[in-house]
Amino acid sequence: MNEPLAERIRPKTLNDYISQQHLVGKNGVLTNLIKKGIIPSLLLWGPPGIGKTTLANIIATESGRPFYTLSAISSGVKEVREIIEKAKKGGGLFTAKNPILFIDEIHRFSKSQQDSLLGAVEKGWVTLIGATTENPSFEVIPALLSRCQVYILNSFDKNDLIALLHRAMEKDALLSTKKITLKETDALLQVSGGDARKLLNIFELLVSADDEIEITNKLVLEKVQKNTVRYDKTGEQHYDIISAFIKSIRGSDPNAAVYWLARMIEGGEDVKFIARRLLILASEDVGNANPTALILANNTFHAVSVIGNPESRIILSQCAVYLANSPKSNASYLAIDTALNLVKTTGDLSIPLHLRNAPTKLMKDLDYGKDYKYSHNFPNNFAEQEFLPDEISGTKLYEPGNNARENNFRETLKTRWKNRYDY
């Protein structure tokens, strides 16, 4: 039996589909659309191995539509246009319902390839379903993105993954003949990284040799970790290596940073994907300890977008080394998360009257803007006044980091706000 286990037990109906209840549960948004026979063009966004392709197949089957699939890695404008022409002509394999065109890894389509889809999607010749592991806002052209609904698929949790293993043992024709005991699953789940396809591939490897086998953490580590897969930009180690890369920079180790960068470059990773992560890190982990880091990271992103390989490796290396050697602060990152949590718990608190905009006479009569102190009219461009709602007056959300620049921030804040905030 040459077909992989993941293919042999691939769900065929919504009832068999594990997880993503917010989309395909009893009251899920996609469930309701399928029942109504209304299938919009959509993008399925989520990590690898969580069932994006499977879900697209099920949508086509349960809505009774012809299903065509292309891979952004191996297909181009020519293949897209051929399917669109068949859809326009109708008849043949096509029914009155327009066909579904599924494009896996749509984020790897170039602008011209994505442009070739616009007319067909807009005129309803095809219903597009695209699968992507990357944020569609960055990787899908705005004109196409505006014509699609974006649905986020969540990572499998532990219960989902164990349920997949039990389904494989019960439903698969080959595995159901074996006596398999899941004594321990922690290592198996950890090595698979939440990727269901990878989990099932590893599981099949473990149980293929014997008719009776007991799955333990020791067995998994002995048989799997000795043969770690090569970097695969479409899934496998994609998230593990970018994680190691980011953590090395956060940990101020330029040597490890350039090593993991080299692993990604050698594996063919998208340079814009790497540059975006550096851009996020520059703000999240370096922050105001060195504000220039964000400028350099932003310029790096734009530079690699223009230059491409192989020269982009030099720019990425420069940025990674700079960020690794920069002083670190996550103070701004913590501040906004603390503020968001405060907003969620306190709701829409009233804006103090003196801070409100007063463009009309009525608003001025209601004291909008009254008693506001224009900072530039005071010494050192500062006048102490209340800027928070009364209910949370004095709440400190920003705590400066312990670095030269933010220590200066702290001293300035102490001088200005000694009577209001505890700095």
Give the number of residues written for the chain: 423
pLDDT for the residue numbered 132: 92
| pLDDT confidence bin for 71, thresholds 50/70/90 | confident
DSSP letters spanning 388-413: S-GGGTT-------SSHHHHHHHHHH
Contact assessment for residue 218 and residue 23, using Cβ atoms and an 8 Å cutoff = no
Q: Which domains does the chain have, with CATH numbers?
A: 20-152 (3.40.50.300), 158-227 (1.10.8), 238-325 (1.20.272.10), 347-417 (1.10.3710)
Whether the per-residue pLDDT at 207 is higher than 60: the answer is yes
| pLDDT confidence bin for 190, thresholds 50/70/90 | confident
pLDDT in tens, 298-309: 999 999 999 888
Whether the per-residue pLDDT at 226 is higher than 60: the answer is no
Whether the per-residue pLDDT at 25 is higher than 60: the answer is yes
Q: Two tokens at 413?
A: 């804040």
Across residues 71-87, what is the average pLDDT?
Answer: 80
pLDDT for the residue numbered 225: 60
Overall pTM > 0.85:
no
Rounded (5°) CA angle 45-51-54: 115
Across residues 394-417, what is the average pLDDT?
Answer: 93
pLDDT for the residue numbered 364: 78
Mean pLDDT computed over every residue of the chain? 88
| C-alpha–C-alpha distance, residues 98 and 81, integer Å | 15
